[in-house]
A and B are shown apart, each in its own frame.
Chain A
């Protein structure tokens, strides 16, 4: 049971470098999300995709872009990394509408350090 898979699990970048965090889910969920987790801040929503072909900004979208490649995959891109983007990033997915239970399924996280 893979569930939600994120890659890479760890990454160190220098300021100004770019990278993409990959996320894939095998539960046929419509909605996918990217959160970041910082000490004392809890989880904050960066971007979400309510369904294939749509993406929208969350609470903290600045400095990030996303792509919903297909129903399974939702990537997060940092075009020019900054030290403030040092964080643990979580991808999540959920079902919507008639089958909505409110439960989000999370990946194991990607720890990113920007020097």
Chain B
């Protein structure tokens, strides 16, 4: 079945450092790919998405490119801030699935940015 594997954390970075969180997927068909972010004490919220190969999703300085050849969707940010400290989840959805369009989530990567 469809699944997502993302790098384990926690990841600790200094403010203004470059961030990469790796995500690879296994899927049949042509899934859409997502990054969700969970701030402490809150629910998940969509950070960015890409719906087809070579699409680049971007939001709040974060970017991820849908790479079909490497089945990857790595999250990057050029200069992280303390406020980016959160847990990041990679997810996929197959629009043709029979699961009500539920998303399959990775295990999450905790990011801590220190001043």
Contact = CB atoms under 8 A, between A and B. Distances in A.
Interface of A: 4, 31, 33, 35, 40-45, 48-51, 56, 58, 90, 92, 94, 96, 100-104, 106-109
Given A102-B51, A104-B44, A58 B102 contact: yes
Contact of B43 (A41, A56, A94, A108): A108
Contacts of A4: 43
Given A42-B89, A42-B106, A96 B45 contact: no
A48 B99 contact: yes
Given A42-B105, A43-B89, A43-B105, A102 B100 contact: no
Query: Contact residue range for chain B?
Result: 20 to 34
Contacts of A31: 100-102
Interface string B40-76: 0111111001010000000000000000000000000
